[in-house]
Every structure is written in structure tokens, then in C-alpha cells.
């Protein structure tokens, strides 16, 4: 039975670090994918889970990730990352992300992750998301 009312989204603040900037004077675009994942992992912690506990037998590799970039971020900018679970299928979780800074839309992203089993020496294999994990999230738009 799904637990209605459990959180489906999370917002966290981040300040641009110098090592995240590039010679164009702005955050290198590769960092946005890391910000999205950082918010995802914080969301998992909020519902009482770690996405990668030590010696875990399952994992959640990324199937796809995309970003549209609207405005740049600069050194020491404080911005917000909001991540939302938009869909859960038997084997995947889909997220969308909005990054904002001072009421300005900076970037919008989305990501799909799949549940896999990890056996040493063998390729990862797609499996059904365990119910005790899927039940922690309540998809929304």
C-alpha cells in the first residue's frame, strides 16, 4: 500500500564554488547534472534512504539525463535546486529538476534512473524496484 503524503520533491541550496566555474567565467554545464543528482540523493535521505549504501546488492544507474540552460551562474551565486519525482515505473524512477537563482530560471532538467542488481564480476541487470523503496516516493507533476 502506497503511503500517501510522503514527500515527492526536495529543494536544496547550493553556492557556486570556484572549481565549478570555467574560463568563460560561469559554471561549467557538466556541473548541472551533478547538482541534479545531489538533489536526488538529498531527497532519498529525506525519505530515510541512501541511494548507495555500502555493500548494496542493488544500484540506480542513470538511463538518461538532459538539461536546458537559460541563464548562467557565476562564482559565489546562491541558487536553489528543486527535484521532483514525476513518475515511477516497475523498473525506473523519473525526475524533473528546476534550478533558480534570485527568482530567475537558470536551467531545467530531467533524469531517468533504473534499478539494477549488482553481482561481482557480472554485468548490471535491470530488476524491479523493491517495494520498500518505491513506496517511499509519491510521484507528482
- Provide the total of helices (H) and of strands (E) in the chain, helices listed first: 2, 8
Is 48 near its own copies (CB under 8 A)? no
Grid cell, residue 134, equals: 518505491
Q: How far apart are CA 33 and CA 55, in angstroms?
A: 25
Other Cβ atoms closer than 10 A to 8: 19
Q: Say how far apart CA 91 and CA 129 lie, in whole Å.
A: 5
Judged by CB under 8 A, does residue 21 bind its own copies? yes
Given the complex with its own copies, which of 5 and 48 has the nearer CB atom? 48
Using the rule CB under 8 A, which residue among 6, 47, 58, 63 binds its own copies? Answer: 63
**68 is a contact residue toward its own copies (CB under 8 A):** yes
Q: Which of 55, 103, 132, 141 touches its own copies (CB under 8 A)?
A: 55
Does 33 bind its own copies (CB under 8 A)? Our answer is yes
Q: Are 104 and 80 in contact (CB under 8 A)?
A: no
Residues that bind its own copies (CB under 8 A): 17-19, 21-26, 28-31, 33-34, 37-38, 41, 45, 50-52, 54-55, 59, 61-69, 71-72, 74-76, 118, 120-121, 123-124
Amino acid at each position: 500500500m502506497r503511503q500517501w503524503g510522503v514527500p515527492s520533491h526536495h529543494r536544496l541550496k547550493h553556492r557556486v564554488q570556484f572549481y565549478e566555474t570555467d574560463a568563460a567565467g560561469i559554471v561549467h554545464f557538466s556541473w548541472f547534472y551533478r547538482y541534479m543528482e545531489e538533489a536526488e540523493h538529498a531527497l532519498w535521505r529525506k525519505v530515510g534512504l541512501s541511494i548507495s549504501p555500502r555493500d548494496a546488492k542493488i544500484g540506480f544507474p542513470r538511463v538518461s539525463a538532459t538539461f536546458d540552460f537559460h541563464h548562467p551562474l557565476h562564482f559565489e551565486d546562491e541558487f536553489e535546486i528543486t527535484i521532483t519525482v514525476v513518475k515511477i515505473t516497475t523498473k525506473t524512477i523519473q525526475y524533473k529538476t528546476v534550478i533558480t537563482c534570485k527568482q530567475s530560471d537558470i536551467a531545467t532538467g530531467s533524469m531517468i534512473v533504473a534499478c539494477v542488481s549488482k553481482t561481482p564480476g557480472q554485468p548490471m541487470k535491470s530488476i524491479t524496484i523493491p517495494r520498500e523503496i518505491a513506496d517511499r516516493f509519491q510521484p507528482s507533476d
